[in-house]
Each structure stands twice: as C-alpha cells, then as structure tokens.
Amino acid sequence: MSFPLLTATAALPAIGAIATAAVPAARRTAAKWLALAVSLATLVLAGIVFARFEPGGDRYQLTESHAWIKDFGVRYELGVDGIGVALLALTALLIPFVILAGWHDADPLETNSSRWRPTQGFFALILMVEAMVILSFTATDVFLFYILFEAMLIPMYFLIGGFGDRAHAGSDENAAAQRSYAAVKFLLYNLAGGLIMLAAVIGLYVVAGSFSLSEIAEARANGSLDMATSTERWLFLGFFFAFAVKAPLWPLHTWLPNAMGEATTPVAVLITAVVDKVGTFAMLRFCLQLFPEASKWATPVILVLALISIVYGALLAVGQRDIKRLIAYASISHFGFIVLGIFAMTSQGQSGATLYMVNHGISTAALMLVAGFLITRRGSRLIADYGGVQKVAPVLAGTFLIGGLATLSLPGLAPFVSEFLVLVGAFSAYPVAGIIATVGIVLAALYVLVLYQRTMTGPVREGIGSMPDLKVRELAVALPLIALLIFLGVFPKPLTEVVNPAVQHTMHDVQKKDPQPEVEAAK
Amino acid sequence: MSATAVHSLWTTAGGVTSAAPGDRFTAPTIEYAQLAPVLIVVGAAVLGILVEAFVPRRARYTTQVFLTIVAIAAAFAAVVGLAADGYATKNAHIAAMGAVAVDGPALFLQGTILLVSMVSVFTFAERRLDPAAGGNRVDSFAAQAGSVPGSDSEKAAVKAGFTTTEVFPLALFSVAGMLVFPAANDLLTLFIALEVFSLPLYLLCAVARRKRLMSQEAAVKYFLLGAFSSAFLLFGIALLYGYAGTVSYAGIANVVDGSVQQIDPALAGTMGNDALLLIGGALLLMGLLFKVGAVPFHMWTPDVYQGAPTPVTGFMAAATKVAAFGALLRLLYVVLPGLTWDLRPVMWGVAIVTMLGGAVVAITQTDIKRLLAYSSIAHAGFILAGVIAASPEGISSVLFYLGVYSFVTVGAFAVVTLVRDAGGEATHLSKWAGLGRRSPLTAAVFAVFLLSFAGIPLTSGFSGKFAVFKAAADGGAGGLVVVGVISSAIAAFFYIRVIVLMFFSEPKADGPTVAVPSPLTMTTIAVGVAVTLVLGLAPQYFLDLASQAGVFVR
C-alpha cells in the first residue's frame, strides 16, 4: 500500500492543532511559530500532492479507501480530481498568510489570567479548520464529506464568536453582543442547511445503498441505479440548499456580511476564501455528479439566483460604509459568478468557475488582509474615517490598490482570466445571463475604485497622519499574494492544465456538450 | 362491562383452580442463573436496608457505596456472562415460566442500564461539592429526609452531620426494576417492574439537600402523575386480558395474529374484540409514553428534572429512558406487531409533536436543568422515530441511541452539579455566563456534551441520530426524518445559546465557581466524554453489538 499522502496532508494540521492548543499559556509566541511551521509543512505536502497529480490520468488520484462504519455503509475514501487538487493547494497556500496576518489578533488583553489561553486556541482552531477543509476537498464518500462539512462549523463558530475585531465602533459590550450574534447567525444558517442535507444524505443512501461517490456515479451511468425523477430532484434540492447557504447564494447570504464584519480579518479571509469554497466545490462535485438530471432541471432558477447575487451583492457593496462589509458583499457578487460558471454547464464556464474559486481566494485574501492592517492602525472599520492614506503609508496603499484591482478583475491579474472564462461560458449557453452578469463587473469597478479613492486619496484625515507603513510581517503577507495574482494572471497554465480534464469529466456526467466548438481561451 | 360479566369471570376462574386442588399444581421452574443480574441487584438492595439498620452511622456511607458498586459490577458481569453464553443470540429464551425474556435486547439494555447506573452512583456518592455540615462531608441528599424543611429537627440533623445513605439501596431497587422492565414478558411482570423502579425514584426525587421544598414538590408531582400513568397501564392490561385471555406477550400476540382461534369460555363476550385490543393497547402505550416523557405525556418532566437532586435527575433521565424505551420496543415488536398499521398514525403523531414540542419549548427555558429536560423530550421524539421504523434495523438503532444518549445525559448532569454558588448549584442560565473564561476545561466538556445532544458530526449524538433517521427512512418514515432534521435545527439553537453564554459572554463578578470534585464525579464525566468521542468517531463495534442484539425472543 502506498503512502497515504492525502491523509497525511489533512492529519498534519490536525495534529498541529492539538499540539498548538497544548502549548503552555506563557509560551504564547512559541504557539504562533509552531502553528506557522505546521501550516508551512502542510503547504509542502500540498505541493507534493499537486506535483504528483497527473492531469491526464485517472479521474480520482492518490486514492485511499478503508472500512469505517460498516453499518452505515460508510467508508473512509479519499481521492482528488483536478478541481479538488487546485482548491487543496489554495487552502494550504492561504493558511500561512492567515496565520501571519493574525499574529497579534489573539493576544490576551490582560495577561493575568493564567488558564485562559486565547492565543493557543486561535491558532489551533485555524489549523483545525484547515485540516477539515482539506479533508472535505478530498473526500469521495458522501457521508465522510457531510461529516466534515458540518463539523467544520464548530471551530469556525468559535473563531468568529471568540475572537472579535478589536477595531469596533462602539462599546466593548456592544461589540461582544454583535460578535456573538454574528457567530450564532453563521452557525444556525449553516447548521440548518447541513441538517436539510442530512435528510438528503439519508435519502440518497436509502435509494442508492451506498455512500461512495464512484459507486453511485457508476451505478447511475450503467443504469443499474434508476432514480425516480422526483426523488432525484428532492435529493438535489437537499444537497444544493446546504451548499447554497455555504457558498453563499442570494437569498441565503445574509449571514456572511455579519460574520465577516465581526470576525477578525484573518478569520474573515478564512471564511470567504477557504471555507465557503467548500460550498461551490461541492456543487460541482456532488450536485452535478450525483444528480445530473435534476441539476439541469434546476439550472434556470439557479442561474437567476446567481445573477441576482452578482448584481445585488455588487449594488450593496457600492452602498457600504464599512470596509469589511463592503468586501463581504463583493464576495457575494463573486460567488454569484462562480455559481453562474458552474451551472452554465459549458466547459469554459466550469473551468472558469474553478479558477475563479482559486483566484477569488487569493485576491480576497490580499485585499482583506491589507484592509485588516489598515483597520488595525486606525481602529475603525468605517470608510469615512479614512482619507489620504497613500501620502502617509504608500506601500500599504499600493498593495491595497493591487488587491482591489484584482477584485475588479483587471486584465493581467489572475481573476481576469477566470471571470473572462465564466462570462464566455455563460454567453455561449445563455447570452442574456452573460449580459446581465457583465453589470457586475461595471459595479465592481465602481465599489473598488470609490473605496480606494475615499480611503487612500484626498487630504490626510485626522488620525491618519501618524499611520505607520507596512511592517516586515505584513509585507510578508501582502507581497507573495500580489506576486501570485500577477503570476497566475499572466500564466494560468499550471492551473488550467490540472482543472480542464476534471471539468471534462463533470461535463460528461451531466451529458452536456459545449454549444459551439471549444474556444481556446486564455491559454 | 356489566356486573354479571365480572361475576362470571371470577366464578369460572375459581372453578378451574378448584377442580383439582393440590394435585395439578406444578412448582414453577425458575432459571436462577439467567435471572442473576436482577437477583444480585435486589439482593444487594435488601442487604443495603439491613446495613441501614445495623451498621453504625459512621461506617454506613462507605459500606453502602461499596455494596452498591460491587453489586452493580457483579450484575454487569452476569449480563456479560449471559451474553457470552449466547443468550443474546441463539440461546435466547423465556425464563421464569414465561415472565421474563432473556434475549438480545434485554441483555443489551440491562448492560446499558447497569453501566449508566454505575456512573450515576458515582455522582450519588460525591461528597466534596457541598460544604461540610456538622463536621461531616455531605452529598446532595437531605440530612434527614423526614424532617420538615426549615424546622428545628432539620437544623439539628444538619448540625449533627447526618446524611441520607438510604439513597443507595433505593437506587438499587430502582435499578432492579429497570432491569426487569425491558425484559418483562408478560403484562403483570411489566407492571410490577414499573412500580418497583418508579416508587424508589419518587422518593429519591424528594430528598434534595438544598431547595428542599422544590424537591418535595417535584416528588409529589412525579408521584401523582406517575400514579395516573400506572393506572392507565393497569387498565390497559385489564382490557388486553379481556381481549386475549392471557397476559403473556406471546399469548396476546397469538390472538392478535389469529393463530389462536379457541375462545376461552370465561371471556366469550370479550375475547377477540378488536375494540378492547385497540383501547387496551393505546392505554398501555400511554403508560409507557409517560415514562419516556413523550408529548403530550411530558408535563412532569421539566418540574421533576428541575426539582430532583441533580445526581438523581441524571440517573432518572438516562436509566428510566433506557428501561422504558426497552419495554416500549418489546411491546410493539412482540405483542402488537399485528397492530403496526393501526398504531402507526398515532405513533407518527406522537413522535412529531414530541420532537417539535421538546425543541421549541426548550428555546424559552432559562434554567439549565429545565433546558435539559426539554432536550430529553426532543430526544425521546428522535428515538420514537427509530421505534416506528418497525424493522430489525429500527430496533438496533434505538438500542444504540439509548446507549449513546444515556451516557451523555449522565455526564451533562454531572457537570451541572459542579457549577455552584453560595446557594448550591447555580442552575439559572444567566449564572453560566463566562464560564468558559473561568473554567475552560469544565466549559469545554459541557460544550462537548451539548454538541453531542445537538447531533454535530464526530460526536456520539450524530451517530445515534443518523442511525435512527436512517432506520426510519428505510422503514418508510421519510416524513419523520424531515421533521427530525427540522427539530434538530431548532434544538441546535438552544444548545448553541448555552455555548455562546459560556464562551462569549463576560463572566459576572458574583458568578458561580466550579467546585473541584472527587475522582468519583470525575470518572462519571470522563466516561461520558470518552463514550461521546469514541462513539462519534468509531461507532462500528457498538453498532455491531446493537444489531446482533436486535432480535426479540417470542
């Protein structure tokens, strides 16, 4: 038996989390370094996974399979396809930056309490989330995926509720109340989605008699498993609902601005750049593969929801006065693009959606983390409290600008490639949808540039004058991310190469052909 | 039924026995070895009473605790021995002249009840939490149960450092009744077992050391409503006897499925009358649903859970539920399988209102013990979904759920005993604010229990919930599964609320402290956590055990 590489990639951060949590209260800094080291080692393992993955090979590679709970028909089955491997790499890549950016976010305010160890807890929880996300990107057993999908909520919940943004307007008590409200809202939305999915998971087992993705897909393909149309639709809806909450798709999105606003910026990045990707990833892997007919049946409605998300998210982003909430609404708009790409059911659309997931992760991380550095300096999230930052802290302003330009998909930066592919895919199948989605791009330019103009340009505002520029730690976060955005914008081949074959498999699952000869886009 | 019918019943019954006085009498054969678990516990309980009478006061506590723990361990060993002899599977049979079944479900449930009782007895014996009274370490039980609250005699008893060590034999009697309850194979044994385990519980509820009036009120409520339910049960038994001419499970089942055509001349007017069967069966079910705390027979639960001494609450919530669901299963699967389709709509209704009712009302609770009481109601609903599945899978899923649930429950109530302020246990939720800051470990443990109650994956609660929902969906009760997940989502809200309170609220200046317990309570809590995590991550072995044990003997 070969070395269980995927298990190791997931187990390392999990073990690291326990080790970090066990560091004594006084050795706070040691815990931080340990967490960073673990996340870097995980990145190395993820790199090996990425390197070992052969784009032209089997659909699922590096597979592992062990009996787990026989009575439930559950196996511990792992395997990655091109989509999984891209997202796994994204996750492993972002976590070190999240940890670095949150270096001081969980320092205890008073150092007298010896038993309360928030710092250790903070980094342990981040690593725990990483382990669960990695495992969920690699699970090929529906039950295993479900368990991780749900269990992930608990560490996320504690990260949101337990470690608030210090830069909160208003009293401490008010901040704590809002934070706990945001955490509870996050948990209840996602838990409700997950429980509805549980009913569908059980239903799937009753119908199919197995939880193995490959077994069910095979049985469906050779006709030995015949699902009644209505059954398939109900099960699809059960799964899709959970993923749409997680993604988040309008009108199930309202938890995201609260959660991202109240959480510390690294945690906000963790939510939107990493954890939420599980939702869109699962639409591709589970909804399309297990319920192809129902997916096609639901496409019109989902496309409408995606378009509403794109326009509505962007419009609300324009109107925000709070930097973090602005980025949250921008993310909702972007998730609309991802869903649009997935359900356009063209290969460009789906390749684009997968690339979009990766690129959105990187660009949001860059923008949000730099915004976090800004907010920490001034102690306010309100756009109105800023102005003229570029005169005082030019490097900060510059990195913020690049992050922002990536968010509005400027050509030359990575998100442009994916947005372009999604739009091409959408145009070729549903021209009207493509046209409406373009509105989102225009609005994106508006909210990003207005944000930049109001915060960075103009006269230096009160309280900004003494603002220090980025420190070494902060540069170590911002610069690599920007470098990546540029690199993937100019040379997306390493990603497209891995993603495209997987997309062909998915297209085959839904038995869709591209409406016209394939465009060799963005090669 | 008219007076003459009653008259003829008695005269005929008398005629049969008087026809052959003496010579037709055969001594009953009692398989003592197979009844060993029950006999050991009853024997120890009787010994415990003698201990109260003859052992000096100083030595009573040690003697009682030792005796109780040894008895429960020995009884558990006997259960394991019987299971190893194949009584759970191929050798399953009916002992004591048809009164008690020795089969898989019975042994599984007896084993669960004994283990849960063991860890509950540890919390009964805990003496480090309450401040010492009269120079003695004291437990959660009244100094002298007979003295009026607030009276001089109470003060004298407290000052003298008395303790109520009678709780141990009482608990043993209760355990003995619970052991028989799910194994009872005729309706009279069922009734006697019910009374044997209920009466000591009524008493145990009444003997709290603190808040004695509340405790006594709880006991009275429990007793009165319990007496009602017993009456229903007994009436149901009478009607079923009228229907079938026998109280044995197999005998009734035979009449129900029509394999017995011969009509007892004494019951010619009633036998085979479906009205009697339906009403009798329904009354019987009401009696049992009362004990499991299903809506609409749940009214006693919150008051009793809140008023009873917390160790007793934990014991009652866990062990009673196991015993009562065991009896319910046997009744539905052995006696009334022919009625599956008649009872289904009713059971569906009960399960739905129980799941939703428990979850919705729990949201408004402000006392942790009441909250757990309503949560136990919601859980009863989930278990009912498995009961309704009407398949071997349904049986084993219910067995598994009961095992899972009982350990989490005992553990959770054990944590409740630790959080105290000057007035004893601080059960009001507002006092739990910020507990996670002061005592991270205690709060984390309680959070694990709450997450398990909420059925979050990787905890035992999820495995159990999944097992019953899967069985229910397989058994054609998909609608129940949908209601189940909806009420799980509602229930999650209030479990999460407690976690929010513990971890995200600022601790209050005059908040409660967490008492450091003796190794006894620590063991209880540790066992609870271990079971929660092990059954969450690797439940296969226990699922196997439950599915092997999932066949009733007839």
Other Cβ atoms within 10 Å of B479 Cβ, number: 14
Asked if B456 lies within 8 A of A151 by C-beta distance, the reply is: yes
Handedness of CA B348, B349, B352, B358 (dihedral sign): negative
pLDDT at B423 over 90: no
Which pLDDT band holds residue B12 (cuts at 50, 70, 90)?
A: very low
Asked whether the whole model's pTM tops 0.90, one would answer: no
pLDDT (mean) for A73-81: 84
Q: Both tokens of residue B111?
A: 């084993």
| Range in A5-14, A104-113, A398-407, A499-508 the model is least confident about | A104-113
Helix (H) or strand (E) holding A226: none
What is the total count of domains within chain B?
A: 1
Q: Closest Cα of chain A to B474: distance in Å?
A: 6
pLDDT in tens, A313-328: 999 988 888 888 888 8
Residue B369 belongs to some domain of the structure = yes
Higher-confidence residue: A135 or A376?
Answer: A135
Specify whether the backbone of B437 is left (phi greater than 0), alpha (psi in -120 to 50) or beta: alpha
State yes or no: pLDDT of B238 exceeds 50: yes
Given pLDDT bands bounded at 50, 70 and 90, which one contains residue A188?
confident
pLDDT surpasses 90 at B235: yes
**For A18-70, what is each residue's pLDDT tens digit?**
888 888 777 778 888 888 899 989 999 888 888 888 887 777 888 888 888 87
Q: Which residues of A touch B503 (CB under 8 A)?
A: 158, 161-162
Quick one: pLDDT at residue A513? 67
Q: Is A203–B503 a contact, with Cβ atoms under 8 angstroms apart? A: no
Q: Tokens representing A446?
A: 């508006």
Share of chain B above pLDDT 70, in %: 95
Q: Identify whether B3 is part of a domain.
A: no
Residue B83 and residue A367: Cα distance in Å, rounded?
64
pLDDT the model gives residue A116: 61
pLDDT at residue A258, rounded to an integer = 85
Please give the pLDDT value at position B5: 41
**Which of A202-216, A272-286, B182-196 bottoms out in mean pLDDT, i.e. has the lowest?**
A202-216
Quote the strand ranges of A148-292, DSSP E. none
pLDDT score of A414 more than 90:
no
Least confident window among A297-301, A496-500, B300-304:
A496-500
Q: What is the pLDDT of residue B315?
A: 93
For residue A164, the 8-state DSSP code is B
CA distances from A436 to A6, A231, B71 (A): 40, 33, 76
Q: What is the pLDDT of residue B196?
A: 93
Region A240-251 average pLDDT: 88
User: What would the pLDDT profile of B316-326 be if each residue is shown by its tens digit?
Assistant: 999 999 999 99
Average pLDDT over residues B399-427: 89
Mutation to test the A interface, candidates B480, B494, B496, most A Cβ within 10 Å: B496
Return the domain boundaries, chain A. Answer: 5-509
Q: Does A449 touch chain B (CB under 8 A)?
A: no
Within a 10 A sphere around the Cβ of B381, how many other Cβ atoms? 28
The reported pLDDT for the residue numbered B16 is 43
Q: Are A184 and B496 in contact (CB under 8 A)?
A: yes
A-B contacts at Cβ under 8 angstroms = 102
Helix axes B274-292, B321-330, angle to 10 degrees: 160
Flag if B485 and A147 touch (Cβ within 8 Å): no
Q: Cis omega before residue A251 (within 30°)?
A: yes
Least confident interval from A55-64, A240-249, A306-315, B171-180: A55-64
Task: Examine the pLDDT at B526 and tell me if it is beyond 70.
Answer: yes
Q: Does A154 touch chain B (CB under 8 A)?
A: yes
- Tell me phi and psi for residue A69, to 5 degrees: -115, 95
Q: Does the pLDDT at position B175 exceed 90? A: yes
Confidence of residue A169 (pLDDT cuts 50, 70, 90): very low
Tell if the CB–CB gap between A187 and B473 is shorter than 8 Å.
no
Q: What are phi and psi of A464, to 5 degrees?
A: -100, -25
| Confidence category of residue B1, pLDDT binned at 50, 70, 90 | very low
For residues B212-225, give the mean pLDDT. 91
> For the residues of B252-301, what is the DSSP string, one character each?
HHHHHTT---PPPGGGTTTTT-HHHHHHHHHHHHHHHHHHHT-TTS-THH
Question: Which residues in B236-257 are b (16+ Cβ under 10 Å) and which e?
Answer: bbbbbbbbbbbbbbbbbbbbbe
Give the highest mean pLDDT range of A71-80, A417-426, B443-452. Answer: B443-452
pLDDT, average across residues A366-373: 88
> Can you give the pLDDT at residue B2?
40
Given a cut of 90, whether residue B223 has pLDDT beyond it is yes
CB proximity A48 to B under 8 Å: no
A307, amino acid identity:
L
Among all residues of chain B, which has the CA nearest to that of A160? B504
Q: Do A158 and B492 touch (CB under 8 A)?
A: no
Centre a 10 Å sphere on the Cβ of residue B151 and count the other Cβ atoms it contains.
11
Percent of chain A with pLDDT over 90: 5
**What is the average per-residue pLDDT within A168-179?**
66
Q: CA B353, CA B385: separation in Å to the nearest integer?
A: 11
What pLDDT does B81 receive? 92
pLDDT at B326 (0 to 100): 93
Q: Is the pLDDT of residue B501 over 50?
A: yes
Section B426-432 average pLDDT: 85
Burial class (CB in 10 A: 0-12, 13-18, 19+), A11: middle
CB of B52 closer than 8 Å to CB of B145: no
Give phi and psi for A197, each to the nearest 5.
-65, -35
Residues of A in contact with B457 (CB under 8 A): 146-148, 150-151
Containing structural domain, residue B40: 30-130+166-548
Segment A212-239 shows an average pLDDT of 82
* A25 in B contact zone (CB under 8 Å): no
Q: Is the ipTM of this complex over 0.85?
A: no
The shortest C-alpha distance from B547 to chain A (Å) reads 9
Query: Is B139 inside a domain boundary?
Result: no
The mean predicted confidence, pLDDT, of chain B is 86
Round to whole Å and give the CA distance between A64 and A3.
9
Query: Residue B17 domain-assigned?
Result: no
Classify burial at A459, counting beta carbons within 10 Å of its beta carbon; exposed 0-12, middle 13-18, buried 19 or more: exposed
Phi-psi region at B186: left, alpha or beta (left = phi > 0; alpha = psi -120 to 50): beta
* Range with the poorest average pLDDT among A305-319, B22-36, B456-470, B472-486: B22-36
Residues of A in contact with B439 (CB under 8 A): 115
Does residue B280 lie in a domain region? yes
Residues 6+ apart with CB under 8 A from A402: A366, A413, A482, A485
**A16 has a pLDDT exceeding 90:** no
What confidence score (pLDDT) does residue B530 get? Answer: 93
Q: Encoding tokens for residue A273?
A: 């750049």
Grade residue B19 by pLDDT with cuts at 50, 70 and 90. very low
Where residue B272 falls (left for φ over 0; alpha for ψ -120 to 50; beta otherwise) is left
What is the arithmetic mean of pLDDT over B83-96?
Answer: 82
